Amino acid sequence: MRPTAANAVAKWHAQKQWRLSPAWRLLSAAPWTVAFLRAEFTAANSRIPLEEFHADLAAFIKELRFENLNLNDAWQASNYADSWVRNQFLARPMVDGRFVYEPTAATARVLTFVDSETSTTTNLNSSRLHSLLQGIETLTYQTDPNPESRIAQLQAEIAERRSEIEQLRTTDNPAVLSTDSAVAAARSILDLAASLPADFKRMRDGVADMLHTIRAEIMESSVTKGVAVGQVLEGDRALRNTAEGETFQGFTEFLNDPTRQARFRQSVNELLEREFIDQLTPEERGTLVTLVREMRRQAGEVHAVYGRLSENLHAYVQSDEFRESVQLRKAIHAAAQAVATSRALRPRTPVVAPLLYAPAFETLAQLGLFNPADHVPPPPLEAPPALSDADIHRTPSTPAPDMPALHAAVDRARAGRNGRATLADVFTDLPAELRHLNSIRGLILAARHSGAAVDDAALQPVHFTQIDGSTRTAHVPLITFTKDSRHD
């Protein structure tokens, strides 16, 4: 088969699989579906509460029925939303105790594609071409194994920068981009940022699938447990090597670099002060302002799913079932080694090797003669995965209030202040390890049960330390512990 034909066949099979995907179903759905999703979900508003989404959809359906569109009269907005969730157009996670709607990774890519096809503007300008050239030069530099050529390229860049500095020093009005070019360049940056949410969603969905796998197969099934754990770890490595995984890893490195974040925020703030920024739409300006915060939120969701995956792996590794599977593996491996090294169990070569399976004969039961190829032993079991403390990540939490210590601190504070002490006085006298948020809650609870004086009209600042080491301030009502207040 010619290479072109083979490539066409492979793409044909891939396209058949794509026709079964949610993206194809969304493109094949009613046009008003895509129009509503495009209007509802924007770069600055990627999540919508359930009640608000249903209200917007109900108003839109009412307008469609005025235009005599063929709709199901028995369906309400919630029915359409449920069908979109079943078809994987939308996801309906619970965030902060309430359900929200958000587009799936496939839907996000479809909406971006439709926006690019229906838009009449173009961002093909000198800024984008310069970014393309700079990216190619950077890739060429990073893949060049010759140090001499890389040094020569760096020296040329230094000379070019020095020439630009001299030109800026000798002129009072340096050349800047025109308003149209600056607007097009800003929109090209927004186009690059628009593809990141879909990558984060695919990364999050991939980790969520692994979490479902470990719960369904490792915790409940009777398959070989060590193999299943190894498959999950191998799937995690494969997921990190995808384009979405590299995007997530690169952005995680960016989030862990405060210098780069500060430079980025400063650049965005300076960009918002330029005159050409008024030519952008309010939605585009909002996207620039919330770009890092939105990416941080999506990266946090992936980290949260990773945390649940780590907790499930930790819980399983600590179980008796896993230890029994490890012991079984060791016993099978020792038995295989004993058989391989035994002189009595070695195969003996006969004078004439019988070929019982050579004739094409069958019995009356249509059973073929013995063929060794049909009885190939399975490959040896893999070694159990080595898990260390570095593979287990637990989320730190604020300790519970130490009520006996708090009651003792109240007594000391009253004794040292003529029988009257405020909540802030008691909290200040506590040891450093007890000055956290739950101690404030414990003192408020102690005040309620002891009959302390509470002045709701006056607020008192109390400075406490969080688990990450940062200091925050809580404003609580003025609570005064007196000699008459008692605690159990």
From 90-94, 269-273, 356-360, the region with the lowest mean pLDDT: 356-360
From 181-185, 193-197, 318-322, 379-383, the region with the lowest mean pLDDT: 318-322
Would you give the end-to-end CA distance of the chain in angstroms?
88
Q: In three state form, how does the secondary structure of 247-265 look?
A: HHHHHHHHHCCHHHHHHHH
Q: Evaluate whether residue 292 is within a structural domain.
A: yes
pLDDT-based confidence at residue 157 (cuts at 50, 70, 90): confident
From 38-42, 110-114, 132-136, 405-409, the region with the lowest mean pLDDT: 132-136
Q: Evaluate whether residue 350 is within a structural domain.
A: no
pLDDT-based confidence at residue 159 (cuts at 50, 70, 90): confident
Mind listing the pLDDT tens digit for each residue in 275-327? 777 888 777 777 777 777 777 777 777 667 666 666 666 665 566 565 666 67
Q: Evaluate whether residue 410 is within a structural domain.
A: yes
H or E stretch at 157? helix 147-170
Dist. CA 84–CA 80, nearest whole Å: 6
Query: Whose structure tokens read 């025109």?
Result: 178
Domain count, the chain: 3
Query: How much is the average pLDDT of 139-159?
Result: 81
Q: Distances in Å between the alpha carbon of 424 and those of 144, 308, 403, 451?
A: 63, 38, 16, 17
Query: How much is the average pLDDT of 266-282?
Result: 79
Both 203 and 294 in a single domain? yes
Query: How much is the average pLDDT of 205-210?
Result: 68
Q: Distances in Å between the alpha carbon of 8 and those of 3, 14, 23?
A: 9, 10, 21
For residue 18, the one-letter residue type is W
Q: What is the pLDDT of residue 351?
A: 59
Please answer whether residues 391 and 230 qualify as being in contact, where contact means their C-beta atoms are separated by less than 8 angstroms.
Answer: no
Q: Evaluate whether residue 98 is within a structural domain.
A: yes
Q: Is 93 helix (H, G, I), strand (E, B) or coil?
A: coil
Q: Distances in Å between the alpha carbon of 116 and those of 39, 112, 122, 355?
A: 14, 6, 9, 68
Domain boundary among 118, 136, 164: 118
Q: Distances in Å between the alpha carbon of 36 and those of 65, 111, 114, 282, 441?
A: 15, 11, 12, 20, 46
Dist. CA 58–CA 326, nearest whole Å: 57
pLDDT-based confidence at residue 222 (cuts at 50, 70, 90): very low
Domain boundary among 118, 151, 166: 118
Q: What is the pLDDT of residue 221?
A: 45
Q: Evaluate whether residue 447 is within a structural domain.
A: yes
Q: Decide if pLDDT at 126 tops 60.
A: no
What percent of the chain stands above pLDDT 70?
68
Both 110 and 204 in a single domain? no
pLDDT-based confidence at residue 62 (cuts at 50, 70, 90): confident
Residue-range definition of the domain harbouring residue 297: 195-316
Q: What is the mean pLDDT of the chain?
A: 76
Q: What is the CATH classification number for the domain harbouring 113?
A: 1.10.10
Please answer whether residues 429 and 400 qualify as being in contact, where contact means their C-beta atoms are separated by less than 8 angstroms.
Answer: no
Q: What is the pLDDT of residue 321?
A: 60
Domain boundary among 281, 316, 351: 316
Q: 97's torsion region: left (phi>0), alpha (psi -120 to 50) or beta?
A: left
Q: Evaluate whether residue 431 is within a structural domain.
A: yes
pLDDT-based confidence at residue 238 (cuts at 50, 70, 90): low
Q: Decide if pLDDT at 334 tops 80.
A: yes
Q: Evaluate whether residue 154 is within a structural domain.
A: no
Q: Is 52 helix (H, G, I), strand (E, B) or coil?
A: helix
Mind listing the pLDDT tens digit for each residue in 91-106? 888 877 889 898 887 8
Q: In what order do the strands lie in the sheet with 471-481?
A: 421-422, 471-481, 453-465
Higher pLDDT, 20 or 190: 20
Q: Evaluate whether residue 159 is within a structural domain.
A: no
Q: Decide if pLDDT at 17 tops 70.
A: yes
Both 200 and 302 in a single domain? yes
